[in-house]
Structure 1
Amino acid sequence: MRPSKRDLILDAALRVVARDGVTAVTYESVAEEAGLTKGGLVYHFPSRETLLTALQEHLADQWEANLTNAAGKPVDQLTDRERDVAYARVAATSADHAELLLILEASTTPELAAPWTRLMNIWTPPTPTKAPLTDDEATRIIARLAADGLWLYDTITGIPMSSEVRAELGERIANLVNPNHSGA
């Protein structure tokens, strides 16, 4: 099946972000990257803001597809622990530069953050509002923080981690919340 023009545009915009940053996302830069006219871009995204919002939704949808794939079934059929395990496994992949820049951009704008907020509310444990935490709450939050740290590691430090080490660490994080863990 041929990718839609909309997806081609979003993938082109991601390449622009990866190469030149979020501020470089203009109709001109994305149209050139996608091999389209500016008018073709405006047809799908009537403003730069709609393009940036669509980029956030596109990335969040990719994350959700990866999470569902890792879990093996839809989120509404999963236990909390199964969601936590899927999250740890997906976070074992490294953040790419564009993804990180867009997520940072979303953190300052509620409209851009909405797809991520929705995704996190479905797939990750709620942040406790008061102490003391139960052992289960603490374990789930620690696993989430460890998974997020693993996801960020290469991009933040500039020190690549092998995919084998990354996968093993992801499994060890998953084992923190998996009641049937092997103790890796």
Structure 2
Amino acid sequence: MTSTTRDRILDALESVLLDKGMSQVTLESVAAAARVSKGGLLYHFKSKDALLAGLVERLGARVEHQLAETRAKGGGVAEWYLQTPDPRDKSEAVELELYRSMLATMRTVDATSGAGGDGVRRALADLMNSWSDGLDAEVGDPVRADLIRLVGDGVYLRALLGVPPIDPERYRRVVHLLLGR
């Protein structure tokens, strides 16, 4: 986990979202989970909407960081989009942080309303559209890019719903097929 107070607050927000759901997200519950005062939370995030916007902003930063690392290792957007972290593997800490951030952010979409909720939905849609653009540009074949996108989205949907993932070896074969290996 991260160490700044702002990141501790966002980590706490993710935990509340993942453990209890959006209905339990209040400034008070997040402050308590982060072990900061409500005033301390409000210093970093002026409202619940600002807190949720901070979650999406950090998700975007984590995506950029992880995608840059994948590219530095010779990978591409498609490979990155299809990866799934193993929560037991501590060497995958960066991937797991992104995975938690994505699932937590997805939990906010249906439950948010009003202008702040629209902003979260729009920011998440913009982020996902940027991944789609990257897949389209990298893969070249729009149908194959859509298949990669749908499989990757399905992995997150299964995790969001708490459905067990498919067998890792079988999923590895799916990824190899999609990536043309």
Same fold (TM over 0.5): yes
1:161, 1:15 → 2: CA distance?
24
Instruction: Note the aligned Cα RMSD (angstroms).
Output: 3.4
- Note the alpha carbon deviations across 1:141-181, whole angstroms, 9 max, x for none: 122112211332244362243544444433433x1xxxxx3
Per-residue deviation, 1:121: 3.0
For structure 1, the 5+ residue unaligned runs are 129-134, 176-180
- State percent identity of aligned pairs: 29
Structure of higher CA gyration radius: 1
32-41 vs 141-150, which deviates more? 141-150
Q: How does 1:14-25 map to 2 (within 5 A)?
A: 14-25=14-25
Query: Conserved in 2, the CA contact under 8 Å of 1:9 and 1:34?
Result: yes
The letter for the 2-side match of 1:120 is M
Per-residue deviation, 1:56: 1.9
- Note the alpha carbon deviations across 1:106-143, whole angstroms, 9 max, x for none: 799431023323322332148x9xxxxxx922121122
- Note the alpha carbon deviations across 1:22-47, whole angstroms, 9 max, x for none: 12111210111111111101111111
For structure 2, the 5+ residue unaligned runs are 87-98
TM-score (norm 2): 0.70
Q: How does 1:1-184 map to 2 (within 5 A)?
A: 3-72=3-72, 82-89=76-83, 92-93=84-85, 98-105=104-111, 109-125=117-133, 136-156=141-161, 158-173=163-178, 175=179, 181-182=180-181
The letter for the 2-side match of 1:83 is V
- Give the total of aligned pairs: 161
